[in-house]
Amino acid sequence: MTEIPFVVSPQWLSEHLDDPQIVIVDCRFSLADTELGRLQYQTSNIPGAHYLDLNRDLSSPAAKHGGRHPLPNPVELAQKLAAIGINSQETLVVAYDDSRFAFASRLWWLLRYLGHDKVALLDGGWKSWVSAGYSVTDALPIPKPGKFLPEVRSHFVIDIDTVKGRSYLPEVVLVDSRESDRYRGEREPIDPIAGHIPSAVNYPWQDVTDEVGRVLPVTEQKRRWSSLENAQEIIVYCGSGVTACVNLLSLEIAGIHTGKLYAGSWSDWCSYS
């Protein structure tokens, strides 16, 4: 594999389960039941898969400001990645969830943020793997530690002050990744205040995949972002910086490399209100 794909098929992964240069990561998670994903993993997973938890591994503890899922400490995350056998610049990481990339894309983005581009998502996630009839197990792998040295790409991230200072510039577009009714302020199931950041346009993250979680074709991704392709900077946010990563994935698939993450997202923005 000379060029790293954004997604791999269940068939491809099934044919590479024994490849020592591949590490599979289960990212299943539920915002409503934060222990569910780990329990699902322990009950049944793709053979050889390790588990990384959104709250414990892929985020830092929440504080008054900074959003509900602050970015993890790079050094601590690097240690966790090394502990499950990921070697910087060498290992191909294949991540999956059962939520249309909602959580696996967070790991995809974090790895690239730490300078590791060899990462792909399992197209269709857990459900596609199971429906295709490939093997599952309740066995947990014995880690073979690797060496992961983070090379943080700080320009991938935008903070609230930068959003305030740049979001109204004509060459900058601010993208809200939440469902349209949350964007419009008609519904807010999680954060204390409804609405969106002024000047933001709405591109719901669910539109990146079909109803079963398979990524839409490149032509569809390009069409989706066609009106923004000339923007010098696209700042993407969601509720807490997690599902925004699905849109950042979509931008990359479309060949647009100007996307940046407002990590604190709406939960950070409204914490100052």
Looking at the annotation, which residues are catalytic?
238
CB burial readout 144-182, b (16+ within 10 A) else e: eebebebeeeeebbbebeebeebbeeeebbbbbbbbeeb
Q: Residue 234: which residues within 8 A CB-CB, separation 6 or more? A: 172, 173, 175, 228, 251, 256, 258, 259, 260
Let me know: does 114 contact 205? Beta carbons within 8 Å.
no
Matching residue, tokens 């709405």: 202
Let me know: does 52 contact 85? Beta carbons within 8 Å.
no
